[in-house]
Structure 1
Amino acid sequence: MKSKLLLCLFLLTSLLWQPTFAQARKAKERQASKTAPATTAVANSLLWEISGNGLKQPSYLYGTFHLLNDSYLSTTPEVKQHFEQSKAVVIEADIDSSKVMQLAGYMVMPENKLSELLSAEEYQLVATETKNVLGYDLAMLDHMKPVSLMLLLSVTEYKDLEAVKKFEDGQALDMYFASQGRSNNKKMFYLETLEQQMQLLYDHHSLDQQAQQLIAFVKSKDYVLNSQEELTNLYFNKDLQAMVAASEAYSKKMGEEDMAYMLDDRNKNWMTQLPQILKAQQTFIAVGAMHLPGNNGLIKLLQNAGYTVKPLQ
């Protein structure tokens, strides 16, 4: 059980981006479309070269899939090549095991219980799912926040998908770039703190909202897993546009609220940091793939800032 908790914590904001976070961008773009052009389509590529705007050497932007392990990189040698030649590495947050454990309190609710947040019928539904997937009685996890349990269930079942199992060796992609960067004495930059990511994932929604999300997940589990598998295959095809479309369809089906705080707002904040990093040295930026496309995606924001951004795959 401890290993599953650690896995969930290590992955942080990654665990929900596949099916839901694209809605944030779409909501804002629909509003912006009244005064701005439609979203520019992007090429089928996860690896992008950043040049111009005074850069002496090109840098690179790579869209990761947070639940995919680094054995996947054997299929894309150009990614490793550009990563290895870069002098600095940028990732979303410093994922350090000691820090993770210090912040594990975000996952629990000492003053509340799942048995009090859910109706008797809902509790039994979740209890059955928990027993079937994790092998534990729900009573043992009664003080776990609903979103924490949802992520544990999601990750555990997601890892059994055939599309993912063939790349089960190694570390999660983001952790690979972090550990290899440190091992090779590259300069390391983190766009956010681990605590900021914990707050976004575990504290943004009220416990009542989390409870309803948990119930919706359990009731629609087959649809959720099918959507996740579809998105994984679209990632393998490097099709960012189709990933956005699939995510929007999922969001509509699941009735998700606007989650712009998870994509658009963070992208804009990251852009206050990236120009100085890029100016100083050749850099490899590895962030979740859904941060790349769209009018408020990093590709477009970098272009708006004067950089030339072109696909390399």
Structure 2
Amino acid sequence: MRYLLVVALSLYFAVLTPAQANIFFKVSHPEQQPTSYLFGTMHMVCGVDIATPKPVLNAFERSQQLVVEVNLAEPEQQLALQQNVLQHPADYLEQALSNAQYLQLKSLVEEELNLPFQQVSAIRPVFLSALFLQNYLECATAPLRLDEFFTVQANRTEKMIVGLESVVDQISLFDAIPLDLQVTALFELATEPNQSKQSLQQLEQAYLTGNGHEVYQLIQDQDDFGDYQYGLLDHRNVQWFEKLPKLLASQSTFIAVGAGHLGGSNGLVALLENAGYTVTPIPVSFVNQD
């Protein structure tokens, strides 16, 4: 469930080291032969002249396996996603919002998203929020969907794909957050479009220029689920890292996870460095140079 909302809500207040002011890294270890790579993604980026950076593509082609947050190429993960789209109870929005707020959200869904409200009113707040965020990006052309791109390419070239967690794992993160808090965040996102669009545009621009430091600072400004950020970000990083040494030792690996998971004292860059890996930043830009 590589959704932009997860990136925007994945916060950890920490000072970045110089190496963390990037989104792409080479990962090596003195006692291991394979060279691997770590790439921070955004779910979706827009722009006519946007392309996946060549250094990233070259590293991906050289790698023997792809590691992602969730391997949605697996049928069981696709099925789990379908089975967990809806929120229970189905009328949770009516229960959590006032009548005026409910009608306002209904109007925004139908007018801004151009979707029948009854068709989407029962889906989880995180998925409904993702629809608004996708709309706010206002892509003039087909967007670049990075997570999907790498998974599709890996399937085509028969690379092994390893998921660090499951759809159910990710759903459980939001189930741990009180539903009324999720609805409040959704309502504010839907009713404050200008602020949301500005934040997204700043985040996208920082990402497209490969400025990991600015990306991380902008992510820090989002603080909807303060008491639950450890579960959304840090705890997941630590759990993922427990699986990485074995994967990195076996063969050259390309790790593609949300950019919000790279920085901070419990970010993947710091965890790798603390374990004796050399993490070397590789500057990238998404401007199409063809």
TM-score band, normalised by the shorter chain?
Answer: 0.7 to 0.9
Tell me how far apart the structure 2 counterparts of residues 120 and 194 of structure 1 sit (CA, whole Å): 33
Tell me how far apart the structure 2 counterparts of residues 21 and 68 of structure 1 sit (CA, whole Å): 18
Summarize the Cα distance change of 1:54–1:208 in structure 2 as closer, same or farther, 3 Å threshold.
same
Match of 1:242 among 206, 214, 218: 214
Tell me how far apart the structure 1 counterparts of residues 86 and 9 of structure 2 sit (CA, whole Å): 23
Match of 1:111 among 78, 83, 89: 89
Opposite residue 254 of structure 2, the aligned amino acid is F
Tell me how far apart the structure 1 counterparts of residues 83 and 188 of structure 2 sit (CA, whole Å): 25
Tell me how far apart the structure 2 counterparts of residues 86 and 72 of structure 1 sit (CA, whole Å): 26
Does residue 226 (structure 1) correspond to residue 218 (structure 2)? The answer is: no
Which residue of 2 is the match for residue 270 of structure 1? 240
Say which structure is richer in helix.
1
Tell me how far apart the structure 2 counterparts of residues 71 and 277 of structure 1 sit (CA, whole Å): 36
Structure 2: give runs of 5+ residues left out of the alignment. 284-290
TM-score of the superposed pair, with normalisation by structure 2: 0.87
SS at 1:284's partner residue?
strand
Structure 1: give runs of 5+ residues left out of the alignment. 1-11, 30-37
Task: Decide whether the 8 Å contact of 1:64 with 1:287 is kept in 2.
Answer: yes
Task: Decide whether the 8 Å contact of 2:9 with 2:222 is kept in 1.
Answer: yes
Q: CA deviation at 1:75?
A: 5.2
Q: CA deviation at 1:197?
A: 1.9
Q: CA deviation at 1:84?
A: 0.3
Across the aligned residues of Structure 1 and Structure 2, the Cα RMSD in angstroms comes to 2.5
Opposite residue 241 of structure 1, the aligned amino acid is H
Which residue of 1 is the match for residue 106 of structure 2? 127
Does residue 78 (structure 1) correspond to residue 55 (structure 2)? The answer is: yes
SS at 1:205's partner residue?
coil
Tell me how far apart the structure 1 counterparts of residues 125 and 136 of structure 2 sit (CA, whole Å): 17
Which residue of 2 is the match for residue 213 of structure 1? 185
Tell me how far apart the structure 1 counterparts of residues 116 and 166 of structure 2 sit (CA, whole Å): 34
Tell me how far apart the structure 1 counterparts of residues 2 and 143 of structure 2 sit (CA, whole Å): 22
Which residue of 2 is the match for residue 184 of structure 1? 157
Tell me how far apart the structure 1 counterparts of residues 26 and 40 of structure 2 sit (CA, whole Å): 12
Which residue of 2 is the match for residue 95 of structure 1? 72
- What are the within-5 Å matches in structure 2 for residues 1-313 of structure 1? 12-22=1-11, 25-26=12-13, 29=14, 39-42=16-19, 44-68=21-45, 74=51, 76-96=53-73, 98=75, 99-113=77-91, 114-158=93-137, 160-161=138-139, 165=140, 168=142, 172-201=145-174, 203-251=175-223, 256-313=226-283
Q: CA deviation at 1:309?
A: 0.6
Summarize the Cα distance change of 1:21–1:102 in structure 2 as closer, same or farther, 3 Å threshold.
closer
Task: Decide whether the 8 Å contact of 1:20 with 1:247 is kept in 2.
Answer: yes
Opposite residue 91 of structure 1, the aligned amino acid is V
Summarize the Cα distance change of 1:197–1:306 in structure 2 as closer, same or farther, 3 Å threshold.
same
Q: CA deviation at 1:64?
A: 1.0
Is 296-305 or 254-263 further displaced after alignment? 254-263
Q: CA deviation at 1:283?
A: 1.0
Tell me how far apart the structure 2 counterparts of residues 151 and 74 of structure 1 sit (CA, whole Å): 23
Is 89-98 or 102-111 further displaced after alignment? 102-111
Q: CA deviation at 1:292?
A: 1.0
Which residue of 1 is the match for residue 287 of structure 2? none
Tell me how far apart the structure 2 counterparts of residues 40 and 84 of structure 1 sit (CA, whole Å): 29
Tell me how far apart the structure 2 counterparts of residues 70 and 229 of structure 1 sit (CA, whole Å): 11
TM-score of the superposed pair, with normalisation by structure 1: 0.81
Task: Decide whether the 8 Å contact of 1:90 with 1:189 is kept in 2.
Answer: yes
Q: CA deviation at 1:310?
A: 0.6
